[in-house]
Structure 1
Amino acid sequence: MRVKTKRAGRLVLLLASTALAPIWGMQSAIAADTTPAAPATPDSAANEGLMEIVVTAQKRSENLQNVPISLQALGTATLEQHQVQSFDDYAKQLPSVSFQSFGPGQSQLFFRGISSGGDGLPFGALPTSGFYLDEIPVTTIGSLLDVHIYDVARVEALSGPQGTLYGASSLSGTLRIITNKPDTSKFSAGYDVQGTRFDKGSLGGTIEGFVNIPLSNRAAVRIVGFDEHDGGYIDNTYHQRTYQSPHTLDDGTVVNSPITVDNSKFVKKNFNDVDTYGGRVALGIDLDDDWTVTPQVIAQHQRSNGSFLYDPKAGDLQVHDYAPERNIDKWYQAALTVEGKVWDWDVLYSGGYMQRSIDTHADYSYYTVAYDAYPNYGYFTNSMGKQIDPTQYYYGHQDLTKQSHELRFSSPSTNRWRVTAGLFYQEQTNQSQANYYAPGYGSSQQGSPVYEDDIFLTNVHIVDRDYAVFSQASYDILPSVTLTGGVRGFIADNTLTGFSGFASDAAKAGCVTPFPSLNSCSYLNKKFNDSGETHKLNVTWQIDPDRMVYATYSTGYRPGGNNRRAGVEPYGSDTLDNYELGWKTSWFDQKLRFNGAVYYEEWNNLQYALVALNSGSVTNIYNAGDARVYGVETDITWAVTRSLTLSASGAFNDARLATDFCAIGANSNPDCASGIIAAPKGTRLPVQPRIKFNTTARYEFLLGEADSFVQGSLNHQTSTRSFLGTTADELVGDSPGFTTVDISMGGKIGNTSAEFYVQNLFDDRGGLTRNTFSAPEISGQYARIYPTKPRLFGVKFGQKF
């Protein structure tokens, strides 16, 4: 909920931002000796060595160095040191992670290059990566939940399939956000205020706060609130275009009726600003010495305006948009965790319910531009014979719900035999509406609307249900050698009902057009069922207390589902086989930590979104074939002295098709008999760079009474392919590699801290992805670039009590 102090909070932010005004005009470069940070950077360098990092990736609390999986953990201090507030901020710290995005709340997450480049449809396939808030899965169809990061214990990134313990959609990996829990031992509170400004943009700021209140020696409540405004940096500039609007006369002659339109009413500078506010309330109750109950509610409201992809043809950080654009993402999650013991076994129940609503308004005019060459497509007149602007808009709405329940039992961790076993159930629903419309089309003389002004409408209801039973057991063959095996059996069920199509599709179904109401025509009733198992086998050798190596064979799966178009077959599940050798090592009295893994992965029957021939740019999901990945990921942290810490992490992924991907035939399904290849064997998989790494150097020192620091970070990634299909990728083009540099400096006196930072110091215009809002086969020549944030100045002030 929005707190009453919101307006006052924004005033404080504005004043803090204004204090930076003298800096904006600086043109001289700031020289910085940067040797920067890693995803597994510890929260601090202790005097006698690196701080231990405790994680719960295997459903137990363990030292990161004892967990035989490839895992990167960003602790509280690391998140604060890199000014992490959103998904984009922490994703750049995780080399094995890549993503596609249209802006805040509109991203899709991938691990180790397991991406087909066609994910993220609001009525499409489930993601390849799982996403958890504490113990609760919050993975949804379409876009990743963009959780504001504050008062967070850590972010855990588990690379590779995690199907045994985490199940569906953990095909390529799992990302977990672990929040700080209520603490009965003491009162604590804090707040942070930030002011920011983009060098080529506008002001922003954030106010955040938390309080932990012990209610008794057995109960405590933790309350968190935040309000953030991000300034914009992309301009919607003035532009005119002329549609030729060819149409056929009664005698069969095709003539043009040119109409010139402009975007003057949507012109705005720095129009892609974002407002995010929300909070969290958690209650911790110790029922006795063995049982704890933790109910929690998290809520967030985010509104982003404008476009976050710029058009290089329009200019640097500029677009020519002809429609109102915004994305409103509202969600809340209620969760309950019960932990206790039965005899000496740990028992945990976790249940959650999430409701999410997404409203998206976007410019779809390049679809109109592409189809302007087709007679009778863009020529409309009203009842007075006046020609109507044929520019198309897009409106999408999703109502998502997700409930999950898990009951888990774990034997004592000190036993030679150790077992974790449990039951899992989840149900997620998706009411998805997508309207492609031209204002006035419904009342035009030539229009054939399907509903109101809609040229094309999708209105479907999707339900996914998953049932699973799982077990993972470890046995110490020798005191230093452990064998671990796990298996998960599952049943997946998917249903899709509703309508998707043009007025002609509605007529075929016997529906009257235009629809008298949105839900008056429902001719789709599709079902898809799947079952199977996924498994894991691991051998770990603890060479000595500071060095461990492991070998793992594991599998993952992602359920199949139904396509929204009539006559298009369901798509099946895809699976992943992972072969991995890894190491976790500490050296020189734990002053140097060096972890890593090498792996080979086989992605089987991969799901891919593609536009079929003669489908009017309608995208469907298909099983494209097989792919493989060769990769290495590593991170190193070195406490050089008590003052200086160096860290680095990186990943190399060579991800390619292992089979030819056949084109989609006239029957709207894969047709290899035609001999037409959409993407040949050996084609790189999209989105993931071959190389991605980051480095950080942090120097801490005493300046007067202040514990001070200076820090520099460098982030680099090589080029990425935009789309899997050869035609689509040639039209859109690849994203070149880039390097960015961040610096920060500050200090702390007692409980009060302050810092100044600059992100993307040299204003490198790195392109994270290239994309088109309509299908690339239709409007690929108008592709846009999702950039790294331009140079951003910030100041931050905080206190802890």
Structure 2
Amino acid sequence: MIMPVGAAYAAADGAAVKAGDAKKPGTEVALEEIVVTATKRAVSLQDTAMSISALTGKTLDNMGADNFVDYARSLPSVSFVDRGPSRKKIVIRGISSGVNAETQTTGVYFDEVPVGAASRNPDLKIFDIERIEVLRGPQGTLYGEGSMGGTIRIITNKPDLENFAADVQGTYSSTHKGGSNYALNGMVNIPIVNDKLAVRAVGYYRNFDGYVDNVTLGLNNVNKEETWGGRFAARLKASDSLMLTFNIIHQDSKYDAIGHYDPAIGDLKQNQKYLEYTNDKFTAYNLTLDLDLGWANLNSSTSYFDRQFANLRDLSPLLGGIPAYLENTEPDTSWVHETRLVSQNDGRFQWIAGVFYKDGKGTFNQLAEAAFFPGLSTDPLTLVEASIPTTTRQVALFGEASYDLTDKLKATVGLRWFDIKVEDSSYTSGLLVGPATTVNTSVAENGVTPKFLLSYQASKDFMLYTTAAKGFRQGGTTGQGNPPDPDTGEPSPTSYDSDSLWSYEVGAKSTLLDGRMTLNLAAFYVDWSNIQVTVLRSDGFSFTANAGKASSKGVEAEMTLRPMEGLDISLSGSYTNAQLEEDQPLPGDGKKGDNIPGVPDVNLAALARYSFALTDSVDAFVQGSVQHVGASRNGFATATGTGGVAAADAQPAYTMGNVRAGVMMGNYEIDLFVDNLWDERPVNLFNRFMGDVRIQTSRPRTFGVSVKTRF
């Protein structure tokens, strides 16, 4: 069955699909419906009055998507800043505080668990996924702070209470200027008591060779990755009205080094004195209760998230070549609970009401050491030692109400009240920061985020809507016990305030050609105040501060078309103009009219897939896709940066392509693929912030074969 990418319609995958049970290519013309739950209700994507993309599990499988980057470039108004493994900063509609931002503007969820973490979002491997929903625009009413630009929801497949299913996939590939890569996926779904109790288990393993050589250490392919993980879910239908679902997600990733290179040294070559490892291990637990009360649905979700993140950075260039490193370890845990009531009646009035609670604890540990100073010592010298434990508590009440003003016109009003308190105790010592110092800081805020929506269902196949919504990002503490800024002599601030924005959107959703085509359009304008930015000092220290105003405006389009039996085409594109509306008051920062760093002006994507029957028992497909990402900069165009280092290096536009072809024989499928077909070197981040040049790029051209079997 043919699946369009980023489409308004695709297959309803269910828990599992046997390859032998799939409909023959060319037997359907109309596109299939996607049902999403972005509004906390199950609604058809084309009937959801907001700008949203949904990628079903089958669509992701057809794309060969394994992680966030594999699908992100196909989404309108979505971009990312890549600072290495598990350090992707996700940007939607240009709402970005710069490439070094330490606070998030995009919410990220695994099922009901919020896991977003600004510039180091956890990257769940994409296997046995029900769908991914990408909500563009502020989602402050239903999803709270941190979703100023939008929200990404990764929704896993849940246990099927009635059908046994199993899925095994193995992939081998080889990377140009790199080595061999292996991936193995497995899933089994077992009904224990038919229509009452079932479990679903998922496991996966990745061993990817690197493609960057370290010329200083004389090591090849240093950026190797080894990841293993899995999920376990149990679902109990306690009665006709009560469903309980328990879910565990675990993933453990180890990267030997970051895959950046310096073009002055050579293609895909770096000269770090240390291997800059990254370790990222996380576990998410979730228990969800769904109760049908007749007049409303009660949903109660309790989650616990535990993440252990660590990485190392070579500081030698910052210290004039003296061997030195910076090691960060960041353990984080959070308890999250949400209970909501969703009305069931079919009348003109619909509503949602809920309560949210979060208790988060994290510690930022940092150790910087110089290997030795000749003539002074042969022992490592501590430059910085810091520990910053932080506690965040948040309570929120939220609700939305919709009323059908006429048979075609509907009005929706939403509101979220929140109360947040952040506390930390910062301990610092070392040669660069002076005597041991402890600084205790706390920040407390409360407020509301409203939303207003009008939608007009002109016909069953055409809808217009307009939205005005407020987005909010909490303030916090900087954890600063640093010495005065070497350039200004001023001490760093100990806290920063919240920032907020108002977003205005108009859109249209249409289904054409007897269900064979969908076309969705949206235009937006965002007014952003008191924006949080990251200030990088010339001595390497950084902190978050508030500065100035900004705006973002643009247009988005998504189209899917099935012009003939067996052929699916999808096109998407966006234009974004995000810029400062006034000079920023901080030294070295941008001026009015400067574009927001790290935000490409254009995103374009196209995919075509043709499926056909080779014989009565063998089906086949061929597929090609292209993604174009526009140009951006790593700093404000008028800024000179700190320490005399230019802060506005170009990140040029680039275009990448992938091809796939395969055959399906009963329960088996064999695919051949080439990713990054013309071996592009995209500049995902031009980084010279710590005294050296680093271009973070994508994996070079990779050939591979994938074998799948389903039962």
Is the structural similarity TM-score above 0.5? yes
Residue of structure 1 equivalent to 2:170: 193
User: 2:554 is paired with a residue of what secondary structure?
Assistant: strand
Alignment of 1:240-279 (within 5 A): 263=216, 266-279=217-230
Aligned identity (percent) is: 32
Specify whether residues 175 and 413 from structure 1 end up closer, same or farther in structure 2 by C-alpha distance, changes over 3 A only.
Answer: farther
1:656 to 571, 575, 579: 579
- After TM superposition, give the deviation of residue 142 of structure 1 in Å: 4.5
1:352 to 281, 292, 303: 303
Code of the aligned partner of 2:34: I
Asked if residue 85 in structure 1 is aligned to residue 16 in structure 2, the reply is no
**In 2, Cα distance between equivalents of 1:706 and 1:367:** 60
**In 1, Cα distance between equivalents of 2:358 and 2:584:** 33
**In 1, Cα distance between equivalents of 2:530 and 2:591:** 15
User: 2:142 is paired with a residue of what secondary structure?
Assistant: helix
Specify whether residues 309 and 41 from structure 1 end up closer, same or farther in structure 2 by C-alpha distance, changes over 3 A only.
Answer: farther
Code of the aligned partner of 2:406: L
Alignment of 1:380-459 (within 5 A): 390-412=322-344, 414-440=346-372, 445=376, 453-459=381-387
Structure 1 contact 574–605 (Cα < 8 Å) conserved: yes
**In 2, Cα distance between equivalents of 1:625 and 1:446:** 47
Asked if residue 605 in structure 1 is aligned to residue 530 in structure 2, the reply is yes
2:613 to 702, 706, 710: 702
Residue of structure 2 equivalent to 1:53: 34
Structure 1 contact 38–649 (Cα < 8 Å) conserved: no
Residue of structure 1 equivalent to 2:509: 584
Residue of structure 1 equivalent to 2:487: none
Asked if residue 315 in structure 1 is aligned to residue 238 in structure 2, the reply is no
Structure 1 contact 182–222 (Cα < 8 Å) conserved: yes
What's the CA shift string for 1:30-73, capped at 9, x where partnerless? xxxxxx96423743597141110111100111100010011011
1:645 to 559, 562, 568: 568
What's the CA shift string for 1:93-135, capped at 9, x where partnerless? 2232111122221111111111122445xxx4x3111010112
**In 2, Cα distance between equivalents of 1:323 and 1:757:** 35
Residue of structure 2 equivalent to 1:40: 7
Code of the aligned partner of 1:196: S
What's the CA shift string for 1:315-336, capped at 9, x where partnerless? 1111111012211111111111
**In 2, Cα distance between equivalents of 1:739 and 1:505:** 45
TM-score, normalised via structure 2 length? 0.93
**In 2, Cα distance between equivalents of 1:352 and 1:454:** 39
Give ranges in structure 1 of 5+ residues lacking alignment: 1-35, 238-262, 373-389, 512-521, 665-676
Asked if residue 788 in structure 1 is aligned to residue 704 in structure 2, the reply is no
**In 2, Cα distance between equivalents of 1:698 and 1:299:** 33
User: 2:319 is paired with a residue of what secondary structure?
Assistant: helix
1:175 to 152, 166, 174: 152
**In 1, Cα distance between equivalents of 2:479 and 2:325:** 21
Structure 1 contact 732–783 (Cα < 8 Å) conserved: no
Residue of structure 2 equivalent to 1:689: 600
Code of the aligned partner of 1:763: D
- After TM superposition, give the deviation of residue 732 of structure 1 in Å: 5.4
TM-score, normalised via structure 1 length? 0.82
Residue of structure 2 equivalent to 1:719: 631
- After TM superposition, give the deviation of residue 616 of structure 1 in Å: 2.5
1:235 to 213, 217, 223: 213
Structure 1 range deviating more: 307-316 or 162-171: 307-316
Asked if residue 497 in structure 1 is aligned to residue 474 in structure 2, the reply is no
- After TM superposition, give the deviation of residue 760 of structure 1 in Å: 1.1
- After TM superposition, give the deviation of residue 141 of structure 1 in Å: 5.5
User: 1:165 is paired with a residue of what secondary structure?
Assistant: helix
Structure (1/2) with the larger helix percentage: 1
Code of the aligned partner of 1:153: E
Structure 1 contact 416–475 (Cα < 8 Å) conserved: yes
Residue of structure 1 equivalent to 2:20: none
Residue of structure 1 equivalent to 2:16: none
**In 1, Cα distance between equivalents of 2:505 and 2:595:** 21
Alignment of 1:611-622 (within 5 A): 611-612=536-537, 616-622=539-545
Structure 1 contact 432–461 (Cα < 8 Å) conserved: yes
Alignment of 1:478-493 (within 5 A): 478-493=406-421
Specify whether residues 334 and 59 from structure 1 end up closer, same or farther in structure 2 by C-alpha distance, changes over 3 A only.
Answer: same
Structure 1 range deviating more: 581-590 or 729-738: 729-738
Code of the aligned partner of 1:328: N
Specify whether residues 735 and 177 from structure 1 end up closer, same or farther in structure 2 by C-alpha distance, changes over 3 A only.
Answer: same
**In 1, Cα distance between equivalents of 2:433 and 2:312:** 25
**In 1, Cα distance between equivalents of 2:155 and 2:253:** 21
User: 1:145 is paired with a residue of what secondary structure?
Assistant: coil
**In 2, Cα distance between equivalents of 1:619 and 1:339:** 45
Specify whether residues 413 and 713 from structure 1 end up closer, same or farther in structure 2 by C-alpha distance, changes over 3 A only.
Answer: farther
Code of the aligned partner of 2:590: A
User: 1:478 is paired with a residue of what secondary structure?
Assistant: coil
**In 2, Cα distance between equivalents of 1:234 and 1:117:** 26
Residue of structure 1 equivalent to 2:469: 554
Structure 2 contact 73–629 (Cα < 8 Å) conserved: no
User: 1:65 is paired with a residue of what secondary structure?
Assistant: helix
Asked if residue 69 in structure 1 is aligned to residue 50 in structure 2, the reply is yes
1:538 to 421, 437, 453: 453
Asked if residue 631 in structure 1 is aligned to residue 554 in structure 2, the reply is yes
Structure 1 contact 657–680 (Cα < 8 Å) conserved: yes
Asked if residue 282 in structure 1 is aligned to residue 239 in structure 2, the reply is no
Structure (1/2) with the larger strand percentage: 2
User: 2:61 is paired with a residue of what secondary structure?
Assistant: helix
- After TM superposition, give the deviation of residue 439 of structure 1 in Å: 2.1
Asked if residue 221 in structure 1 is aligned to residue 202 in structure 2, the reply is no
Tell me which structure has the larger Cα radius of gyration. Answer: 1
